[in-house]
Amino acid sequence: MLHCMVIGSGIAGLATALSLAKAGHTAVVYEAYGAASDGVGGFLTVAVNGFDALDTLSLKQGASGLGFSTPTMSMHLGSTGRHLADFDYGGSLPDGTTARTLTRSELYGLLRTEAARRGVCIEHGKRLASVEEAAESVTAVFADGTYARGDLLVGADGLRSAVRTVIDPTAPEPRSIPLLNTGGIVPAGMLPEGTVFPETGRMKMVFGKRCFYCYMRDPQGRTWWFANPLQRSSEDPSQLSPAELKDWLAGLASGDRTPMAAIIAATSDIIRPYRTYDFPSIPRWYRGRMVLVGDAAHAASPSSGQGASMAIEDAVTLGRALLGATARTDTATLEQAFGRYESERRARAEAVVEWGRRNAAPKIRGQFKRVFEDFMLRAVFRSLSRKAADNFDWVYGHHIEWEPASSADFRS
């Protein structure tokens, strides 16, 4: 079958390698960094559409044991404590599976372990330097002077994708959103007695006076939180010392009627703030024997809650498009398969990116607009909560059939 090279060993790269293996192909993953990224990164939520895609890869059961269920979210105003609306985080699958919040490291560990078990090789210290194309193969040249040759090359190398630049040197740059991302996890028993929390698994999202943030409790009593401070050109909080960062963040939440300032004060390891970007659209997802998946093709802001789920959907769709392909498949036929993959994914992916950007917009609040926006937010969320199922089913209800019609694959 095909020998596939996957550039990048993040969620998108590992899921893609597993999907290609399910389709009967061999896959080797090449990672720029010199070691596995166990324990690296913050946390994320896999929505029900992500679990549906994981089920296709026979990974749903393993992923369902990670993290904790977060099926609902509630919106509040920090200045008054007023409740705005409640939402389901996509409802549940027929077997009761809901969205789950887990550390990135947990999901990465599951995918990496399964990749090894299913015969997928991961090579570290392989930073892509260039790509050489031939009629019947493609060669990846790495910065250490080595190279690898295969039938196709998948760019799963994220927002700053090197493969995207090779496919289209004129591709646009990622689009900046003026929000920072930070957060942490507080062990059980570290907060003052009497601290009031929503029930376990409910995400309490707060439009604070100076910052948007969210906090929740897991079944072990730990408090998970994230915050989205405004990115101002006059300051760079990523350069603050841990103590200074804690004081700065606690100050942003101190005027609100929530326990957020205390939560921040009790956090021993706060994620260093990083900037928010998205990728609304790029002209080309593939060229010749090269194709993009995940953030390399369409990065949504964290406000979408869909980054990991969309990457897994991409992986399943690409593997599906390559069912029946062989090492004798010519470049033109591979491009037809990539075209099917893109046609199934592009409109949905770009819609999710824009949805995430709209979700981020209310978090970008100037002080002079706060009172008016608080009033408007109440009206907006009352309206949204009444028709939430209709509004969001297109996001969470997506399902990918693994076996395509015979006319859509290489076996026709």
Do residues 319 and 267 share a domain?
no
Do residues 169 and 179 share a domain?
no
Q: What percent of the chain has pLDDT over 90?
A: 76
Do residues 244 and 122 share a domain?
no
315-348 residue pLDDT tens: 999 999 999 999 999 999 999 999 999 999 999 9
CATH number reported for the structural domain that contains residue 272 in this entry: 3.30.9.30
Of 243, 276, 309, at which residue does a domain stop? Answer: 276
Handedness of CA 311, 54, 101, 40 (dihedral sign): negative
Instruction: Say if 53 falls within a structural domain.
Output: yes
Instruction: Say if 91 falls within a structural domain.
Output: no
| Cβ–Cβ < 8 Å for 191, 223 | yes
Instruction: Say if 57 falls within a structural domain.
Output: yes
Do residues 63 and 128 share a domain?
yes
Question: What pLDDT score does 309 carry?
Answer: 97
Question: What pLDDT score does 410 carry?
Answer: 63
**Number of helical H runs and strand E runs in the chain:** 11, 19
Question: What pLDDT score does 34 carry?
Answer: 87
* Alpha carbons 13 and 29: distance in angstroms, whole number: 7
Question: What pLDDT score does 269 carry?
Answer: 93
Instruction: Say if 13 falls within a structural domain.
Output: yes
Instruction: Say if 379 falls within a structural domain.
Output: no
Tell me the pairing of strands 152-155 and 175-186: unpaired
Question: What pLDDT score does 127 carry?
Answer: 97
Do residues 271 and 324 share a domain?
no
CATH number reported for the structural domain that contains residue 22 in this entry: 3.50.50.60
Do residues 8 and 40 share a domain?
yes
Do residues 232 and 291 share a domain?
no
Instruction: Say if 383 falls within a structural domain.
Output: no
| Cβ–Cβ < 8 Å for 32, 155 | no
Do residues 42 and 147 share a domain?
yes
Do residues 226 and 168 share a domain?
no
Question: What pLDDT score does 407 carry?
Answer: 42
Do residues 287 and 144 share a domain?
yes
User: How many domains would you assign to the chain?
Assistant: 2
Q: From the first residue on, what is the mean pLDDT of each consecutive set of 10 residues in the chain (412 residues)?
A: 96 98 97 80 93 97 96 91 88 95 96 96 97 96 97 97 96 92 95 86 93 96 95 86 96 94 95 91 96 96 92 98 94 97 96 88 60 52 50 89 64 48
Full residue range of the structural domain in which residue 329 is found: 3-69+103-173+279-366
